[in-house]
Every structure is written in C-alpha cells, then in structure tokens.
C-alpha cells in the first residue's frame, strides 16, 4: 500500500504535539506523554479519585476494562449544594438513543433518496449503516452546554457525521486502508465500486457544508461562518486528512515514535471530534475561554477514542468490532499497544479520561453531565 | 470503467433541463435545445448582430472558429451616451493576465508548501500546473459587476479554483476518466500515487471552504455563509459531482439522448461556473434579480464551455490541448459533435454565446465588459 505513495512523509517537529492553528492551546496530552516517555507500563486496576469528588463505580451494559467501569459522579456531599443525595445518575443510554434518533431523522431529511441514485445510494448506505453518532452528540451537547439548543446545532451535528462517514468511505479504499468490512457490512467500494465510493464521498463532504450554511436556524451568520471554518479546518489540512496521509506514510516504517503516533491520532481522530465540539460551542454562543476548554476536552477524548480503538483492535474479534479486526497488526501500523504495551495503553486511557473531565469542571454540572458520561462511554466501549 | 459502477444511473426527467434547487430559473438552454431537436445542423460562417448593437469583429491571438472571432462591443452609436466612438476595445488578454496573477498570488498564500508535504505537494502540483483561472476571474468580475471589489471576492475565487482542481484530480483516477495527462503534465495520481491524489483532493476541497469562511474581508457574514452554500451546492449533489457520476454511468451506453447530455454538461461544467459567478454576485451585494441574471448567464457559458470542449477534443491534438485528445471518442462518451455533428455543435455554441451576452445587457456596460469578453474567449479558445 505504501508503495503507492511516492513521497516521503516528513513532519515538522513542532506540529507533533499541537495543532498548528491554535498556538495558544498546547496539546493536553503533551504533559501526559512526557510522563510516559521511558516509563514502564503498570497494571491499571483500581478506582480513582477525581479532583476531590468521590467516584462511584457503575457498570454499563458493555464494560470494557475488567476493572474500569463507567463512572457516575455523585458529587461532593459536604460542599456542593447543587448536588443532593437524591440526584439520579445520568442515563446515558437513553440520552444517546433519543439524541441519536433526532440525528437520524435530521440525516434522513438532509440526505433523502433522490436522483442521481448512483450518488445517493452509497451515501445513504454508508450513513445509515449504524454508528453511535458520537460526533453529532458531542456537537449538540457542547452547544447546549454553553446555552444553545439542539435545533441550532443539528445541521453542524449532521455535517460532522457526514464528514466522518465520507472519510471512512475513502479510507476503506483498496489503496488506503483496504477494508472489506465496516460496521459489520461490506464497505462502500465493495458494495458499489470505487468510482461511486470516491464520488459519493466527495458529494457528502460538499453536502455537509451546504447543509450548515443553508440550514442553521437561530444562529447569527457570523457563528455559522465560524462553524463552517472550524469543521473545514478540523476535517482538512490541520486535521483528519492530514492525520490520514501521515498514517498511510508511516505504515511498515520502523521509525515511528510516540510523537508521530500522537500526531496521527490527534489529527486523524481527535481533530474532527474537536471540530464537532467547538462548532457546537460556537453556535451556542460560548465565550473564547469556554471554547478553549471545550477544545482541550475534545483533544483528550479524541486521543482516548483512538487509544481504546487500538486496544480493541488487539483484543476483540471482527464480529464484536463490526469491522476487520487485527488489521493494524497485519498492516504493521504503529499503535499504542505496540508502543506502550496493553496495560500501559489502558493506563494512558484512564489518564486521558481524567483530564477530559477536568476540562468540564468549570461548566454547569447538570449541563455537563452528557459530556462527562460520553467520556466514560468512549473509554469503556466495546466496538 | 463502467463495470466498476454497480448501479444503473437513472435520471428523473424533470431534472434534465433545470437545476433542481432553483425551480424559478429554468435552464436557458431549454429553449435553445428545443430548436435543435430534429433540426439539421447548418454551417456557421457569418458575423451576427446582437440585439441591435453593431458588433465589430476583432481577432484574438488564438482564434478558434475560422469565421467566428472575439467580438468587442462598440456600442449603439445613436442612442447610448455611455459609449463614445473613442471607447477603446476591452483588452481581455491584459485583464486575464493581471487578474490571473492576483489569483495566483492569493493561491500561493492560501496553499503554501508546508507539512505534511505528502498533502501539499500534490495540491500545489495540480493547482499550479497552469490553467486560465476562468472560474476565479468569473467570480471576481461578477463581484465587481454588482458593486463589490476584488479583495472581497478573492477567497471565493480561490475556492472555486480549488474545487475545480480537486475535481480534476479525482476525475483523472484510473477507474474514472483514467487520464495520464492534464494541462500537459502527468496527472496527480501518476505523479504521486492514487492515495495522495484522493486525499489531496479531499483536503483541497476542505481548504476551499475553510478559506472562504475564515478569510473573506469586507463582506457581511450572511453573504459569506450564502457564498459557502452556493459553492457547496454548485460543486456537489446538484452540480459538478452529480454530473460526473451520470457521465460515468453513461459511458458506452447507446441510450443517451440530448436531455441527458444537457444534464451532464449543466452539472459537470456549468454548475461550478455558475457557483463562482453567483458567489461573486452575492459577496458583492447583488440584488436577487441581478443574481438571477448572473445565474442564467453562467449556465449559458457553462454549456458553451463544454460544447467547445467537445469540439476541441475532436479537432485538436494532445499537444495543442494540453491533455489527452480523442479520449471522448475512444471512451464512447456522448458528445455534442456526436449528437449534432461538428457544424451543428458550432452553431449551438454561437447561440449560447448570444444568449449569455443578452443576460448581461441590464448591467453597467463598462463593468460588464470583462464578462462579455470572457464569453467570447470561452467560445473562441483553442484548449
């Protein structure tokens, strides 16, 4: 596969730990990674205290870590009157189902089956193949967190999902990740051919921006323009596609260190999560300080997402995953388990989860609950 | 090639002659095409009067039609005091060179060489391989026509060129148009591999929208958002990519009629020209009526562009064209010469040129000169 890429892929070192556009926002993982350089992995096995709040363990239906389970914050019983002993735990499952249904309805409206079917069928096939709608949920939750509402965020939420989906359609192509399976079904190019997969991906990308620009109700146009710019940056040259090309260039290379691995995952995974969260925050009218915290939060969960992904690729079967398992190993891709070992990767994941939640501490706790719970979900998922 | 497309490509008949989003703006070519159905092609050989204005022939340095030459409007000497006998003819060559240089400087700034080079080198290679910058010029001219300025239009002008360039990068891929040559050089996938061609194309598309959203000076945000929506629509599901998929589906098919040919060209070529023109008009503050006329103008020149393209593919060599000649015939593509004959196609081109200019009649004649001259240039070009 790398034989089809004729250029050596070089990195400017200072881009490895920060997004080049946000010089004031250093990668939150920079400090975490510094602790890891040269450190031996340790067994993760104990519940942890988070910033003085007593954490009660509660099992989700799909536990991942044998020891780590989803944590639901019960509150500082002594000091914080905004919590009471009777505050019910946050029902993430219902939240995800309800918001997911809203997102699916909106996607159905945005991408109906129409002419030319050769474009719309592959788009819809890929969009409605399943998926947890994590990016749309993050966008909506972030918008509501800063005082906005679901309707305002929805077109951008859909756009984030469209961008994510088209990137998978292109990633799966034979001369890239060469995947036959995605979300348990044949990939788009296997079902419809490479031409349709490339062009449908292109059109879905365009549709994402058309949709945000044309269909965002209740937000001032400057916020809409900012959201467009944010999503475009996050998906493009400082984000998703940049991570993908460096990832492809790095396959089979024995020289990839922790910095390059961080670059790949910050760009390939975290960037679009960040774009979704920040676009939501912008549309909801967040201050620059709030948007900064949302940005850092998103980078943590983005890296967390990928660390867990790498771990699942090693520990789960294709059926459980819904995509081809063991591919990273087979393709000699650099992964966290390969760099840090399995237990070391699990410990890193827990550190990232902790830091993500710290970024949410300054917000209204009740409005922050979905994002806190989503963080735990990302950490504990099984596929 | 069509064997890689697994779906039959059906068209809803009413989409053939209009853009589905603009029900109020029927295709200007609808009436022109109705004259052509069943009509025998005639020899085009005489200069024509345009709406009562006496047209003086003037040769460009690269004449195409042996009889048709670039026309420069000298004005209605009896009635129109805005013209005088001493009004110098419009120097399109200098205009194109000056504006082209401005566009190239802006593109250099928007797409510098930076990390990761594996993305930026193919982008720059394709962007700076030549090209007349017709779409940026149209965007800038339309903006200035309605009272705006070059600086405001420039990011969208660059975006139109980026979108156009990325569509070529993807179009040239082996399982699509399978071109080895473009603008006289190896195509992007031949130079850098398919992975880089696909991903660089994706990132250039994203960069186009990031650029418009983040870098448009002096325009109210609502106009910026509208311009984004217009470009996204024009390039996507109601435009360029839609035309491309229908074109691919139609190859080798014996059943393509004039309606499908019109659909393909209105979408594959005219749509992005329309997007560039209309985005420019929106950013410059044009009224809805002015934007409607600009839209119709653009559709005429878009179709004109393709009619001439089809004619050149039959009549010119690869060296003269700067791309692989004779490919349409070899690929059994449906073209205007194939449907109407060579002389019939030339006559159709002249009709389209005439109608395009009629749409510009209501504007300030001096401000309209670049677009009038560009229309003639499109009609008379050699490559």
Q: What is the rounded average pLDDT for all residues in chain B?
A: 78
Query: What local confidence, expressed as pLDDT, does residue A40 receive?
Result: 31
| More confident site: A13 or B205 | B205
> What average pLDDT score do residues B122-133 get?
93
Query: What local confidence, expressed as pLDDT, does residue A6 receive?
Result: 37
Distance from CA of A61 to the nearest CA of B (A): 38
> What average pLDDT score do residues B318-335 get?
63
Query: What local confidence, expressed as pLDDT, does residue A319 receive?
Result: 61
User: Residue B213: is its pLDDT beyond 70?
Assistant: yes
Nearest to A121 by CA among A184, A186, A200, A203: A200
- Among candidates A6, A175, A213 on the partner chain, residue whose Cβ is nearest the Cβ of B232: A213
Query: What local confidence, expressed as pLDDT, does residue A59 receive?
Result: 31
Query: What local confidence, expressed as pLDDT, does residue A346 receive?
Result: 95
| More confident site: A286 or B383 | A286
CB atoms under 10 Å from CB of A105, counted, come to 11
> What average pLDDT score do residues B294-308 get?
92
User: Residue B206: is its pLDDT beyond 50?
Assistant: yes
User: Residue B190: is its pLDDT beyond 90?
Assistant: yes
Question: CA A100 to CA B5: how far, in whole Å?
Answer: 32
| More confident site: B36 or A124 | A124
B194, closest residue in chain A (CA to CA): A4
Yes or no: say if B309 and B276 are a contact pair by the CB < 8 Å rule. Answer: no
- Among candidates A15, A191, A203 on the partner chain, residue whose Cβ is nearest the Cβ of B241: A203
Query: What does the pLDDT look like over B55-82, one tens digit per residue?
Result: 233 332 323 332 333 333 333 333 444 4
- Among candidates B203, B228, B246 on the partner chain, residue whose Cβ is nearest the Cβ of A116: B246
The model's confidence at residue B297, banded by pLDDT at 50, 70 and 90, is very high
> What average pLDDT score do residues B320-346 get?
75
- Among candidates A15, A119, A224 on the partner chain, residue whose Cβ is nearest the Cβ of B241: A119
> Quick check: B232 and A118 CB within 8 A?
no
Q: Give the contacts of B249 (CB within 8 A, at least 6 positions apart).
A: A116, A118, B2, B5, B7, B8, B9
> Quick check: B236 and A206 CB within 8 A?
yes
Total beta-carbon pairs less than 8 A apart between chain A and chain B: 215
Integer-rounded Cα Rg, in Å, for chain B is: 20
pTM here?
0.78
Query: What local confidence, expressed as pLDDT, does residue B257 receive?
Result: 80
Query: What local confidence, expressed as pLDDT, does residue A86 receive?
Result: 59
Question: CA B333 to CA B194: how far, in whole Å?
Answer: 24
Query: What local confidence, expressed as pLDDT, does residue A255 receive?
Result: 64
- DSSP helix, strand, coil percent of chain B (3-state; round to 5): 60, 5, 35
Query: What does the pLDDT look like over B148-167, one tens digit per residue?
Result: 999 999 999 999 999 999 99
Distance from CA of B39 to the nearest CA of A (A): 30
> Quick check: A210 and B226 CB within 8 A?
no
CATH number of B62-380: 1.10.600.10
Question: CA A148 to CA A275: how far, in whole Å?
Answer: 17
Question: CA A221 to CA B152: how far, in whole Å?
Answer: 17
Question: CA B159 to CA B286: how far, in whole Å?
Answer: 20
Q: Which residues of chain A have pLDDT under 50?
A: 1-30, 33-34, 36-84
User: Residue B28: is its pLDDT beyond 70?
Assistant: no
Query: What local confidence, expressed as pLDDT, does residue B279 receive?
Result: 97
A181 DSSP β-pair partners? A186
Query: What local confidence, expressed as pLDDT, does residue B341 receive?
Result: 92
Which residues of B are less than 8 Å from A117 in CB distance? 7, 9-10
Query: What local confidence, expressed as pLDDT, does residue B196 receive?
Result: 94
């Amino acid at each position: 596969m790398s034989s089809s890429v004729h250029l050596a892929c070089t990195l400017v070192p200072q881009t490895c730990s920060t997004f080049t556009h946000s010089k004031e926002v250093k990668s939150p993982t920079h400090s975490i990674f510094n602790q890891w350089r040269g450190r031996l992995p340790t067994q993760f096995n104990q519940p942890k205290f988070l910033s003085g709040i007593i954490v009660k363990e509660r099992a989700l239906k799909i536990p991942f870590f044998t020891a780590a389970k989803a944590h639901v914050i019960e509150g500082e019983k002594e000091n914080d009157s905004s919590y009471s002993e009777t505050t019910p735990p946050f029902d993430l499952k219902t939240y995800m189902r309800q918001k997911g249904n809203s997102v699916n309805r909106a996607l159905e409206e945005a991408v109906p089956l129409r002419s030319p079917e050769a474009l719309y069928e592959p788009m819809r096939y890929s969009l409605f193949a399943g998926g947890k709608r994590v990016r749309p949920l993050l966008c909506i939750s972030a918008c509501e967190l800063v005082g906005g509402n679901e309707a305002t965020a929805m077109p951008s939420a859909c756009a984030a999902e469209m961008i994510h989906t088209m990137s998978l359609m292109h990633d799966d192509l034979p001369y890239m990740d060469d995947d036959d399976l995605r979300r348990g079904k044949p990939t788009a190019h296997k079902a419809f051919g490479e031409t349709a997969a490339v062009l449908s991906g292109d059109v879905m990308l365009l549709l994402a921006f058309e949709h945000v620009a044309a269909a965002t109700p209740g937000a001032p146009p400057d916020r809409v323009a900012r959201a467009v710019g944010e999503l475009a940056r996050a998906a493009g040259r400082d984000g998703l596609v940049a991570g993908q090309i460096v990832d492809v260039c790095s396959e089979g290379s024995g020289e990839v260190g922790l910095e390059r691995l961080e670059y790949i995952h910050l760009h390939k995974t975290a960037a679009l999560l960040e774009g979704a969260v920040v676009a939501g925050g912008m549309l909801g009218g967040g201050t620059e300080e709030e948007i900064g915290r949302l940005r850092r939060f998103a980078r943590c969960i983005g890296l967390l997402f990928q660390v867990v992904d790498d771990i699942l690729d090693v520990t789960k079967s294709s059926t459980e995953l819904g995509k081809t398992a063991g591919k990273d190993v087979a393709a000699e891709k650099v992964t966290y388990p390969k760099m840090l070992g399995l237990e070391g990767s699990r410990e890193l994941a827990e550190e990232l989860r902790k830091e993500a939640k710290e970024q949410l501490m300054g917000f209204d706790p009740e409005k922050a609950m979905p994002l806190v719970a989503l963080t735990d979900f990302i950490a504990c998922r099984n596929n």
